[in-house]
Amino acid sequence: MSSPHQAPVPRNAQDDRDDLRDDSRDDSRTTPGPADSTDATQQAGLRARATVAGGSRLVVKVGSSSLTDPGGLLAVARLERLADALAVRRSSGTELVLVSSGAIAAGLGPLGMSSRPRDLAAQQAAASVGQGALVAAYSSAFGRHGLHVGLVLLTVDDLIRQQHYVNARRAVTRLLRLGVMPVVNENDAVATDEMRFGDNDRLAALVAHLVRADALVLLTDVDGLYDGPPSNPGSRPIATVRSPRDLEQVNLGGVGSRIGTGGMVTKVEAGRIATGAGITTVLAHSADVDGALAGQEVGTVFLPTSPRPASRMLWLAHASEPVGGLVIDDGAVRALREKGASLLPAGVVGVTGSFEQGSPVEIRDRHGRPVARGLVTFGSDELPRLLGRSTRWLGEVFGPDHAREVVHRDRLALLDYGRDATPS
């Protein structure tokens, strides 16, 4: 029996699927993948999908490859089909937040570019040109259903600073209360190489936590997760992922398409972030958006792996890639993990990489195990002369500006040993 939230099948639904998907292979999900070996797993997957079907607030992310044609231009018909499906779900009372890639892709054609540029300045230029076209298309598509859209552009810096984080959550929440469809994207025009989400999969997972969503739906150009490259006829689909351990032997392939940045690795990472925050996640083909929203067995469902953390520190742990590192002694490890203290110069025994003040760094113990991530008060060029010194000594010798912590506890997120960037 279909869910009451399921959208009606478009008149040309099969044509839509043929347009978006390569049906040259049999992707029947009857053959269990490595995470699908028991009835218990299947039942857990069905319960998780029911969370999507019955959720009152969902975050839906769509990638560039699902919004553009083979030439890299914005495919308005695809965007409209997505808007139609979301509008139907919205009409049932569900609050939706759309995280949409496509700004850079939408700017490639007008700028005469055939693929995503590698240099940051060209990406920023394409985003500036394309963002307007993308929002105009969404405004038109949702306007047919009497819905307004509100553009929310975010940067890492916006969301690792406490007040900015609160402001972002307040703005999106207010849009939802006003009946507006928030369309979220990274602010590519001002993002820097050091401080950027890098792909909207991770951004979507963090937005899901920000707005306290019941579930996250990642729409892409493949039919979910496989135990090998989807183009390989021998690869088997994986319907349910219980934990990251299920994927230890899975070949996730490389980077994304020539238009977008997110490959399967980033989507699995997004699933790990979201499920680690207690949020059910579904990865599905964009042509299956109706079924994904209805809780049907399409794509891959990632089961929540831990209770939802309340702290904004999930952002700091995942929002940006560290540009350098600090090595700390055992006493500093205990101070951070057991006392919630700031990291002082006396506990730092090594510096790796080159970074400026305010940059994100990873903090590891003497054995190389990750302890925390944080934003540093000093740059890598200044830190070596401060290592092992007390703040009192530093204040007396170098002045009061040096009598301070290397990483303040309010700008530090603890990690679990042996696991990547999972808040403790």
Element (H, E) at 307: none
Ligand-binding site membership of 188 (annotated):
yes
Q: Name residue 344's beta-bridge partners.
A: none
Q: Which amino acid belongs to residue 55?
A: G
Residue 1: CB atoms within 10 A of its CB come to 4
How many angstroms separate the CA atoms of 34 and 324, rounded?
36
Ligand-binding site membership of 265 (annotated):
yes
Ligand-binding site membership of 289 (annotated):
no
How many angstroms separate the CA atoms of 271 and 265, rounded?
10
Ligand-binding site membership of 262 (annotated):
yes
Q: Which of 272, 219, 222 is nearest to 67 (CA)?
A: 219
Ligand-binding site membership of 200 (annotated):
yes
* CB neighbour burial string for 55-78, b if at least 16 within 10 angstroms, e if fewer: bebbbbbbbbbbbbeeebbbbeeb
Tokens, residue 116: 């995503």
Ligand-binding site membership of 221 (annotated):
yes
Ligand-binding site membership of 41 (annotated):
no
- Which contacts (CB < 8 Å, 24+ apart) does range 385-394 have? 386/345, 386/348, 387/345, 387/348, 387/349, 387/350, 387/351, 388/345, 388/346, 388/348, 388/349, 389/345, 389/346, 390/344, 390/345, 390/346, 391/344, 391/345, 391/346, 394/345
Q: Which residues are annotated as a binding site?
A: 61, 101, 188, 200, 220-221, 261-267
Q: Which residues are annotated as a binding site for substrate?
A: 101, 188, 200
Q: Which residues are annotated as a binding site for ATP?
A: 61, 220-221, 261-267
